Amino acid sequence: MKIAYLINTYPKPSHTFIRREIAALEALGWQVHRFAMRSDRAALVDPVDIIEDNKTEHVLEIGGKRLLCSSLGWMIRHPRHTLAGLAMAIRCGLKGKSGGPGTGGLPRHLIYLIEAAHIARRARKLGLRHIHAHFGTNSATVAMLAEALGGPGFSFTVHGPEEFDAPRGFSFPEKIARARFTVAISSFCRSQLYRWSQIPEWPKIKVVHCGVEIAGYPAPAPMPEGGPHLVAIGRLCEQKGFPVLIETMAIAAKRLPGLTLTICGDGELRSLIESEITRHGIEDRIKIAGWVDETGVRAAIAAAHALILPSLAEGLPMVVIEAMACGRPVISTCINGVPELLTPKEGWLVPAGDATALADAIVELSNTPIDVLAEMGLAARARAMSRHDGNAEAAKLAAHFTEALRSVAVTAHPLHTETVNHA
């Protein structure tokens, strides 16, 4: 069965879960065509991401003139669908205008319409019967507009937290209503989608967790000596709470002479975080490693006693799942979907934004015997493996695709004969 995945920017260093999901679907026999508006190849460090980038059709790389010609060609041949798509773009654009940052106003939605017409044309040529978008923002908007323009039906996965900032501005009620089904990555995420949809639509909202490749996680490494050594992984941006973590380290360092932290990640707040480290005088306690590949992430987790997640907003963070799969306990803020994953048996949950509470949890970890930490790590590993097996979750998603395709007419659109090349 041939389907497409549609993501705004793909692949990105933080989107390994999408790559794994596609690979698991392909292992099940699905043919997945990757669409993305743009590439992030300059930021890619993992060789597997670079290979994935080469497999992806990046729409904007064909150039504005060719994109417009392709889109107008489709619209001219499908005038009734074009009027419906235009009306939808205007309607969603007017909602987006007052919906909050990132939702886009009318001009941006007209651009989405052009992109959608090209996607509809490419989907017809490639014989794609379904489009699945990741994230409920502009990629899902393009998928919805492509369907309105006569392209295949669609579904989309919602992660949070950005989507939850402006659900009406992102046209969630309309997207959920028109989608063949909608995926939430956690029960918390599903509960939020319930808020922005009609009750008759609720059965179409499915929970499919992000998963890990079980085979890639051998027996946990022994707990390191000394410390405590902590690792934090993520993009250095506002929602991840790294400034709070630096304050936490400054508090805890006064009580724990051996405390160290490695930060794996980069982003727009790096200079601010570095200045905060200097201001607190804890340069010898914290190392910023920048982006590292999957092997480097697992090595950093293995070298630590625990992962620490200071986030202010999350969906269901992959770094927590990965650390648990590596057999390490976790200290995390108690937000959104995290309590569904992490319980007191596997780590510590503390109030978000509370540097003192985070520091207290670090001290408690330090006072916990190594053998008990190892037992917590094994419990964490077992929980992650049972709930987040990437192959099992992909099989759930494949079942939803199958059900959705079975419920629609089996008559395929005739393929057009024109060829639209892509870079």
**pLDDT tens-place string over residues 281-334:** 999 999 999 988 888 999 999 999 999 999 999 888 999 999 999 999 999 999
pLDDT digits (tens, 9 = 90+) for 331-370: 999 998 899 999 999 999 999 999 999 999 999 999 999 9
Q: Is 423 a residue whose pLDDT tops 70? A: no
Percent of the chain with pLDDT over 90: 84
Average pLDDT value for residue range 4-17: 93
Average pLDDT value for residue range 215-223: 92
Pick from 208, 210, 172: nearest CA to 314: 210
Give the confidence band of 166 by pLDDT, cuts at 50, 70, 90: confident
Cα 329–chain centre separation: 22
Identity at 269, one-letter amino acid code = L
pLDDT for the residue 412: 44
pLDDT digits (tens, 9 = 90+) for 363-403: 999 999 999 999 999 999 999 999 999 999 999 999 999 99
pLDDT for the residue 98: 53
Q: What is the DSSP letter of 284?
A: T
How far apart, in whole angstroms, are the C-alpha atoms of residue 384 and residue 30? 25
Higher local confidence (pLDDT), 101 or 8: 8
**Structural domains of the chain, with CATH:** 2-211+389-406 (3.40.50.2000), 215-387 (3.40.50.2000)
How far apart, in whole angstroms, are the C-alpha atoms of residue 328 and residue 175? 38
Q: DSSP per residue over 102-132, as a string?
A: TS--HHHHHHHHHHHHHHHHHHHHHT--EEE
Identify the three-state secondary structure at position 418.
coil
pLDDT for the residue 194: 97
Q: Is 28 a residue whose pLDDT tops 60? A: yes
Give the confidence band of 97 by pLDDT, cuts at 50, 70, 90: low
pTM greater than 0.95 (yes/no): no
Give the confidence band of 259 by pLDDT, cuts at 50, 70, 90: very high
Identify the three-state secondary structure at position 88.
helix
Dihedral sign from CA coordinates of 232, 237, 241, 243: positive
Average pLDDT value for residue range 273-279: 97
**β-strands 2-9, 31-38: how paired?**
parallel
Average pLDDT value for residue range 93-101: 64
